[in-house]
Amino acid sequence: MKYKLIIDKNADEEIIAIVHAPSSLTQQIEDLVSSYSGAEGIMGYRDDEMRKLEFSQIECITIIDRKVIAVDTDGNHYSLKDRLRDLEDILPSYFIRINKSTLANEHRIQRFDAVFSGGIDAVFRCGYREYVSRRCFAEIKRRFDRV
């Protein structure tokens, strides 16, 4: 397999892959290219602090008390100005919906725990827990089964 990268600020950006047959690698490349929006992060607000949150540093984005909140890798909560459905369009493809009001970074989910009430919680690396709906869990299982 050959790889070639040409950086030219004056040229239009394009990605061309010539392969013999589709594979999991070609699917990953296609997912990466189609999910790339040019943005690498979003602005988060906490107290008097304003900080750019890199997508890879966000555990999940959820709604708490009718406010859109991003939870970072340290467990800090940052308020966001954007609506959840608008964020869904700009977030990379590794952000998955785990319930009606939460988008999770699938790379930051440590495990899924069964809870006493019969539901399932996603436990993130920072310790934050969030409920996973049955409908979303079925889609998550299908997504992981493909890997």
Residue-wise pLDDT tens digits, 46-67: 998 999 999 999 999 999 999 9
Q: Does 51 map to a domain? A: yes
87 pLDDT higher than 70? yes
Domain range holding 90?
41-145
Q: Does 23 map to a domain? A: no
Give the C-alpha separation, 127 to 72, whole Å: 11
Q: What is the pLDDT of residue 45?
A: 96
Encoded amino acid at 64, one letter: I
Q: Does 9 map to a domain? A: no
Q: Does 27 map to a domain? A: no
Q: Does 76 map to a domain? A: yes
pLDDT tens for 88-130 read 888 988 999 999 999 999 999 999 999 888 889 999 999 999 9
Q: In total, how many domains does the chain have?
A: 1
- 120 within 8 A of 139, measured Cβ to Cβ: no
Q: Does 6 map to a domain? A: no
Q: Does 125 map to a domain? A: yes
Which CATH number do you get for residue 140?
2.40.50.1020
pTM value surpassing 0.75: no
- 55 within 8 A of 44, measured Cβ to Cβ: no
Q: Does 82 map to a domain? A: yes
- 22 within 8 A of 31, measured Cβ to Cβ: no
